Structure 1
Amino acid sequence: MSSRIAVEAVIFDMDGVLVDSEVYWHRSREEFARDRGKVWTDADQRLAMGRNTVEWARVMQEHLALTESLDAIMAEMKRRVMAHYDEHLPVRPGAIEAVKLAAANYRCALASGSPTEIIVHVMELSGLDKIFEAIVFGDDYPNGKPAPDVYLAAMQRLGVTPNVSLGIEDSSNGIRALKAAGMIAIAAPSPGFPLAPDVLALCDAHIESLEGFTLDLIARAAEHRNANYPG
């Protein structure tokens, strides 16, 4: 008989999961492109979502046919997004409560591909920096999502294995990173960027809002993983 999975750790993504930031990133990229006589599309945005700083800057450079360096693109985008956050930090409904619930019952970490300066800024503005046991910065790892590097690093920091670790993601690249890491996966897509059916099929549970993040949901996601990958 296979053993039942008992979740020991919960690891959150940041952009699109804890903060509804994909709207700001999309708007900032649209503005960036428009200032150069270019067009940034929804399809471009989906391709960039979840990736680390260098990788999304490269997507912008290639898709907008830019002559600017990656460093210049990254610097301007960070400035634009930080300016939006300073006006209003769009914390998703239920996000703070979800992190507090996870931290009260499990090991808890953040693993984000967002630029380090922005992660620090968001954590300080939201107060979540005081709750997470570990924060893993995507800039520290050359391979961004859908590679599993940030999640593998977060699990190592927490001292847990993939089969007892659950992650919450909003993007296709993020979900694929969770599965590549061997983790239990919950999809919590940003309202403006729903996930395709083939991506949702990879998940062990799906919620429309973090207000639906409960201990029962965690248990059901683990049961789904156990039923599909016993042992």
Structure 2
Amino acid sequence: MNLRQVDVVGLGAMEACVFDLDGVLVDSEPVWEEVRRAFVADHGGTWQPDTQSRLMGMSTGEWAAYLHELGVELPPDEIARGVVEQMAARYRDDVPLMPGAVETVRRLSGRITLGLASSSPRRLIDVVLEAAELTECFAATVSTEEVPRGKPAPDGYLEAARRIGADPQKCVAVEDSSNGLRSAYAAGMRVIAVPHPRYPPAPDALALAWRVLPGLDALSAELAG
């Protein structure tokens, strides 16, 4: 099968498409890693070889607590505020959108209901969507700050489906990370994986995907039926 020509056969009956943000629409994982790695080093902690992969998908409270466990000499709420402020400052200078992100969202918007389920804090979700002029394309957006558990738990995707008014089993999710793929799959959604070249998902997580695409340009408008 030529992945660049995949038409996502069988998804015409889907009620909604729910996107992840980090690593799917915005190339933020390198920025997150740089900012958090420096924050840990500057505040007495020790970055571990598996730290970045473990952080991907965690909610704000979860990753702040984890950085504290790495030895950062601040309480988790102060860690979260410090890191998010630095991320917001970076985004004010430039939002590193993924290739095809704006075009794909705009192409699908209006043809199928779009949602977003992100591990980013609400503040950063809003900054990114506003800068990309995509806010109005989404019927609902969810930060895992707003649900009990972050990815790989299904809470964020289930809440996005609830806000949209869609059956999770009639939603397709677009994800890149191991925890994101596990989260969407656990929510009962059909999962399309668009792996990030620098942070590829684990093989067991990738095996949960219904389709694996090389980039957003391969996400066919057939999603709209």
TM-score, normalization: structure 2? 0.89
Say if 1:37 and 1:61 are closer, same or farther in 2 by CA, change over 3 A: closer
1:81 alignment partner, SS class: helix
Aligned residues: CA RMSD: 1.8
1:83 paired with 2:96, answer no
1:135 alignment partner, SS class: strand
Describe how 1:89-128 pairs up with structure 2 within 5 A: 89-128=95-134
Q: Identify the structure with the greater helix proportion.
A: 1
Q: Which residue of 1 aligns with 2:57?
A: 50
The one-letter code sitting in structure 2 at the alignment partner of 1:60 is L
Per the TM alignment, residue 103 of structure 1 is displaced from its structure 2 partner at its CA by 1.7
Contact 1:148 1:180 in 2 (8 A): yes
Give unmatched runs, 5+ long, in structure 1: 220-231
Q: Which residue of 2 aligns with 1:8?
A: 15
Superposition misfits of 4+ residues, deviation over 6 angstroms: none
Distance 1:164 1:137 in 2: 21
Distance 1:137 1:81 in 2: 16
How much identity, in percent, do the aligned residues show? 41
Contact 2:109 2:137 in 1 (8 A): yes
Distance 1:122 1:42 in 2: 29
1:130 alignment partner, SS class: helix
Q: Which residue of 2 aligns with 1:201?
A: 207
Contact 1:52 1:144 in 2 (8 A): yes
Distance 1:152 1:177 in 2: 9
Q: Which residue of 2 aligns with 1:71?
A: 77
Give unmatched runs, 5+ long, in structure 2: 1-9
Per the TM alignment, residue 88 of structure 1 is displaced from its structure 2 partner at its CA by 1.4
Say if 1:81 and 1:42 are closer, same or farther in 2 by CA, change over 3 A: farther
Counting matched residue pairs gives 215
1:61 alignment partner, SS class: helix
Contact 1:191 1:208 in 2 (8 A): no
1:23 paired with 2:22, answer no
2:142 paired residue among 136, 153, 174: 136
